[in-house]
Structures are given as structure tokens and as C-alpha cells.
Amino acid sequence: MTDQLTGSSSFPMVLAERVVKAYGSHVVLSDISLSVDRGEVVCIIGPSGSGKSTFLRCINHLERLDGGRLTVDGELIGYRQSGDKIYELKPREAAQQRKDIGMVFQRFNLFPHLTVLENIIEAPTQVKRQSRAAASTRAMQLLERVGLAEKAKAYPASLSGGQQQRVAIARALAMDPKLMLFDEPTSALDPELVGEVLDVMKQLAKDGMTMIVVTHEMGFAREVADSLVFMDGGVVVERGTPSDVLGNPQHARTRAFLSKVL
């Protein structure tokens, strides 16, 4: 673990230290420590309710932390530290941090009242104040990259699930994020559509994007992930290379989980 967070770019992209999150008295994340390096692809697996989504939502401050500290690219998320005091960020400052972190949801969450192109340029024009023309040019490149250039003028409801999720990835990429979070991006898809989304994600990993992916696609984890994290009961039970964790799990809980899903 690094102690100082200033100066070099040697500090990790994401550093979670003893992160705690509770809803009322229900402690969802009891003690999460995890570090993700630049360009690293980390897959998170774990049983339902183990807090995987909650942890992702903490990383871009959709949820407020109750304990521990979390930095992205060396910057404390959700709070500002001055001396030994910690101040809550203003909503504007929190939004500023989120624009550098892309997120892809299980249920796509495309904006149904906007066309595919309008979905992608919405945040660049509204948040980054890019011109419509510049944002559209960039959006068309991204659509090209996810193989959907011909759907630019279509509305999301007329697309298949796999196409919608690829648009959602393009929408997140349009903000030029330094980190991408994926929350079960293929779980809502028909089996024959999973591949096209995973292909886009593989390409993204190859291009050097730092990615944290909650997934049940063990094949994808094995092929793409640099490391695999098994979460259960609000803690990181085990972390290692995919082949180690899948092939030679060290903990009984990991073995029990893998025996059910593999």
C-alpha cells in the first residue's frame, strides 16, 4: 500500500482503504480495501447482496461513504481534506469528480426521449460545454467504434438490448473518463447478445482503459481481467489472478461460491 498520495503517478487509479457503507443499521460494506492500478482491469464476483453494486456506486460517489477513504487518481472522492479536518464536497464539486468516471448499468439507463446521438452528446454539451458539432463528431467516432454508426438517429426503444448497452458504453466514453465502472453489463441481455457487448469491453481493455467490472461472465474474467476479486458479506474475501482465484481458491467461501456458478 502506498502511504503518500502526492507527487508521482505511481499511486493507483483507485485506492479504497477500509471503506464502510451502511444503510441505517444495515452494514453493506463492512471493510473494503482495494487498489486498482492504471490500465488494470479488475473483475468483481460475489453472491447477490454482497455489496458489489454498492461499492461501485461509492467509487463515483452516487453513495456517500460512512467510513474509510477512497481516492480516484489521487483525489479523495466525496470529501476534501484540509489539515486533519474532512469537509463534505459541494454538489457541484462532486459532479466535477463524477464526470471523469464512466459508469455502465445493468439496465442500460439510456435516455428514452433522446436519440442515440443525443444520448451521447448530452453530457459533453451540458457538462463540458462542448459545441454540438464537436460533440457530434466525437459521438460518431464512438458509435463507429461500438459498431452502431447507422443507429445514430434511432431512439433507444427501437434497439436490441445488446445495441442499447453498446450505446451506453459509448455515452460513458464520450466524457473521456479515466476510469470505467461496469455493473453487471450483460446480466439483462439475452445470451446471444452478450458477446457483442463483451467484445466492445475487451477492445476497451486492450486500449488501456482502467476498468472495474462486476460480472458473472467467468470466461470474460479469465480472458481479460488482470485480477479477480471475490466479495462476500461486505468484505474482499480473496483477490488474485483469474486463473488462481478460479482454479485454486484459497477460501472456503470462494470455493462454495464457485462450485455454484461454474
Partner 1 sequence: MATTRSARVPEADPGISGGPERIRAIPLRHPVRNALAVLLVLLAASFIWDAAFNRPAYDWLSVGKYVFDIRVSQAALVTLELTVLSMVGAILLGSLLAVMRLSPNPVLRGIAWVYLWIFRGTPVYVQLVFWGLLATIYRFISVGIPFTDIGVSWTTQDTLSVFWLAVIGLALNEAAYMAEIVRAGMLSVDPGQSEASTALGMSWAQTMRRIVIPQSMRVIIPPTGNEVISMLKTTSLVTAVPLSTDLYTRTRDISAETFNPIPLLIVASIWYLLFTSILMIGQYFLERRFARGTRFVDVGPGASS
Q: Position 250: which residue type?
A: Q
Least gap, CB of 187 to ligand ATP (angstroms): 8
The answer to the question of residue 60 lying near Mg ion (CB under 5 A) is no
Residue 154 binding target from ligand ATP, partner 1, Mg ion, none, CB below 5 to 8 Å by type = partner 1
The answer to the question of residue 134 lying near partner 1 (CB under 8 A) is no
The answer to the question of residue 53 lying near Mg ion (CB under 5 A) is yes
Q: What's the rounded Cα separation, in Å, for the pair 70 and 65?
A: 8
The answer to the question of residue 71 lying near Mg ion (CB under 5 A) is no
14, 15, 19, 28: residue in contact with ligand ATP (rule CB under 6 A) = 28
For residue 137, which phi and psi values (nearest 5 degrees)?
-60, -50
The answer to the question of residue 62 lying near partner 1 (CB under 8 A) is yes
Nearest to 16 by CA among 51, 170, 195: 51
Question: By CB under 6 A, which span of 21-29, 67-75, 91-99, 133-141 interacts with ligand ATP?
Answer: 21-29
**Beta strands at 26-36 and 14-23: parallel, antiparallel or unpaired:** antiparallel
Supply 83's cell numbers: 489539515
For residue 213, which phi and psi values (nearest 5 degrees)?
-125, 115
12, 51, 242, 249: residue in contact with ligand ATP (rule CB under 6 A) = 51
The answer to the question of residue 114 lying near partner 1 (CB under 8 A) is yes
Largest separation between any pair of C-alpha atoms in the chain: 55
50, 71, 164, 227: residue in contact with ligand ATP (rule CB under 6 A) = 50
Please report, for the chain, how many H helices and E strands are present, in that order: 9, 12
